[in-house]
Amino acid sequence: MTTDVTIIGAGLGGLTLARVLHVHGIPATVYEAEASPTARTQGGMLDIHEDSGQPALEAAGLTDEFRGLVLEGRQAIRVLDRDGAVLFDKADDGTGGSPEVLRGELRQMLLGSLPANTIRWGHKVSGTRALGEGRHQVTFADGSTVTTGLLVGADGAWSRVRPLLSDATPEYIGMSAVETCLFDADTRHPASAKAVGGGSLFALAPGKGFLAHREKGGTLHTYVMLARPRDWFADIDFTDAAAATARIAQEFTGWAPELTALIADGDTAPVPRPLFGLPVEHRWDRVPGVTLLGDAAHLSLPNGEGANLAMYDAAELGKAIAAHPDDVETALTECEQAMFLRSAAAATEGTYVHELFYGDDTPHSLINMFTGGE
C-alpha cells in the first residue's frame, strides 16, 4: 500500500473499514468529531442481518466477539393495535437470522479491535479541498489540517466529505422519531413491559405509532413515530421535558394506557430525531482519491438497514483496497459501482416498507409483511 488511508467518522461504518484494513495489515487513521468514545449514548438495539452486517463482521474477523454480544430472545415480534389488542405475536425460537445487539456494545467491540491511536477524537472536520493528483486536504474545527492520498467519508448524514463528490443534501422525509426510555420496566411499568414483550413491539396507525424494544435489564427503548412537518416539532420546547412529553403523548389520546405510557411515563427526557434522506439514486462520478460509505453515501428512510449497509460498504471497501494495494482507483471504482446498485435497491425497498409501516393500511399491511402475505 503506497498511500495513507484517512477515514472521517468513527461510526459503525468508519470503524468497520479501519478494522478490515487492519486485518489486512493496512494502517488507517480515523478522525472523529466527538471528544471521546463515551461522549454520547449510542442509540438502541440493532438487528444484524445475514446478508450485510454479519458478513461485514466476518470480514472484520469479529464473528465470535459479535456472537458474545447478542441479546438472546430479542428477535420476538409483536404487533398491537391502538387499543392494545395483540394482532401478531411471534416468539424468538432461536431460528431467526437477525440477532439483536446494543449499538453501543457493537461500537465498543470495534473500537477495542483497533490499534491504539487509530482514532483521533475531538477532530471535527470543517472543510475539505482537492489538491490535485488524488490528494486532499482536510481542515478541522481547530484550524489544523491533514493531507491524504485516500480520503473516506464515513461521517454520516451531514458529511463534510460529500461535497467533494456530490451536491446532494439530505431532505426531511416528513416524519420524526421521538426517543424515550422506561427503566426497570418489569417492576416499575409492568403493563408496558407486558405490551412490549420479549423483543420488538410495533403499535402503528397511519402516520404515527410506537416502535419499542426490550433492551438489557428491563429497559424499554421507544421511538414514537410522527408524520408531522419540522415546524410542528419546532413549536415544541424540548428543553421542557414534561411539557414536550405531554405534547407528544397528546397525539395518542385514546390509545391504550400501556402504549401511551411508553412516552408519558418516560424515565428520560424525550429526544426529537428528525429523519432525513438523500435521493434514492444518489451517485457521483469517480473523483480520484476520495469516496463515501454508509449514511454519507446513501442516507435513506429508516428501514432497519442503514447500520448494516454502512458496515457492509466498509467491509467491501476494505477488502477491495487490500486486493488492489497499488491501484486504489480500481478498488474505489468497483466498490462504488456495486454500492450504488445495492443502496438504490435498499432505498427503493425502504420506501415500500415505510408505506407498509405508516401508510393507510397499517397495521394490517405490517402484519402481512411479517406473515409473508402480499
Ligand X SMILES: Cc1cc2nc3c(=O)[nH]c(=O)nc-3n(C[C@H](O)[C@H](O)[C@H](O)COP(=O)(O)OP(=O)(O)OC[C@H]3O[C@@H](n4cnc5c(N)ncnc54)[C@H](O)[C@@H]3O)c2cc1C
Binders of ligand X among 281-340, rule CB under 6 A?
294-296, 302, 304-308, 310
32 near ligand X, judged by CB under 6 A: yes
Among 36, 38, 155, 42, residue whose Cα is nearest residue 106 = 42
- Determine contact, residues 76/183, Cβ cutoff 8 Å: no
Residue 37 CA to residue 113 CA, distance in Å, equals 14
Position of cell 428501514?
Answer: 303
Q: SS3 breakdown of the chain: % helix, strand, coil, rounded to 5? A: 35, 25, 40
Which DSSP state fits 74?
T
Contacts of 150 (CB under 8 A, 6+ apart): 3, 4, 5, 6, 134, 289, 290, 321, 328
Task: Kindly identify the residues of this chain, within the stretch 109-138, that bind ligand X according to CB under 6 A.
Answer: 124-125
* Residue 269 in grid coordinates: 427526557
Residue ranges of the annotated binding site for NADPH are: 40
Residue 12 vs 256, nearer CB to ligand X: 12
Q: Which 337-366 positions form the footprint of ligand X (CB under 6 A)?
A: none
Chosen residue from 18, 33, 317, 335 binding ligand X by CB under 6 A: 33
Give the three cell numbers for residue 229.
Answer: 412537518
* Closer residue to ligand X (CB): 154 or 182: 154
Binding residues: 40, 47, 103, 295
Q: How many residues bind ligand X (CB under 6 A)?
A: 32
Contact status: 199 vs ligand X (CB under 6 A)? no
Of residues 21, 31, 118, 185, which one binds ligand X by CB under 6 A? 31
| Least distance CB 61 / ligand X (angstroms) | 19
Q: What are phi and psi of 159, to 5 degrees?
A: -50, 135
Least Å distance, CB 85 to ligand X, is 25
- Of 4-12, 129-137, 237-245, 342-350, the segment contacting ligand X by CB under 6 A is 4-12
For the annotated binding site for FAD, the residues are: 47, 103, 295
Q: What is the DSSP string of 298-341?
A: H--S--S-HHHHHHHHHHHHHHHHHH-TT-HHHHHHHHHHHHHH
Instruction: Give the interface segment with ligand X, choosing from 78-86, 148-156, 164-172, 337-345 (CB under 6 A).
Output: 148-156
Strand 77-80 to 200-205 pairing: parallel
CA dist 25 → 58, 120, 204 (Å): 16, 19, 48
CB of 44 to ligand X, least distance (A): 7
String marking each residue 169-198 x if it binds ligand X according to CB under 6 A: --------x---------------------
DSSP 291-306: EE-THHHH--S--S-H
Residue 330 CA from chain centroid, whole number: 28
Q: Omega into 163 within 30° of 0, i.e. cis? A: no
User: Binding residue for ligand X (CB under 6 A) from 1, 5, 7, 12?
Assistant: 12
Q: Which stretch binds ligand X (CB under 6 A): 10-18, 77-85, 263-271, 326-334?
A: 10-18
Residue of 60, 101, 150, 154 that binds ligand X (CB under 6 A): 154
Cβ neighbors of 251 (< 8 A, separation 6 or more) are: 208, 226
Q: Which of 1, 5, 7, 10 binds ligand X (CB under 6 A)?
A: 10
Determine the distance from the C-alpha atom of residue 145 to the mean position of all C-alpha atoms in its chain, rounded to a whole number.
Answer: 29
Q: How far is the CB of 125 from ligand X (least distance, A)?
A: 4
Task: State which of positions 214-233 bind ligand X (CB under 6 A).
Answer: 223
Cβ of residue 253: shortest distance to ligand X, in angstroms? Answer: 24
- Contact residues for ligand X (CB under 6 A)? 8-14, 31-34, 46, 124-125, 154-156, 158, 160, 177, 223, 273, 294-296, 302, 304-308, 310
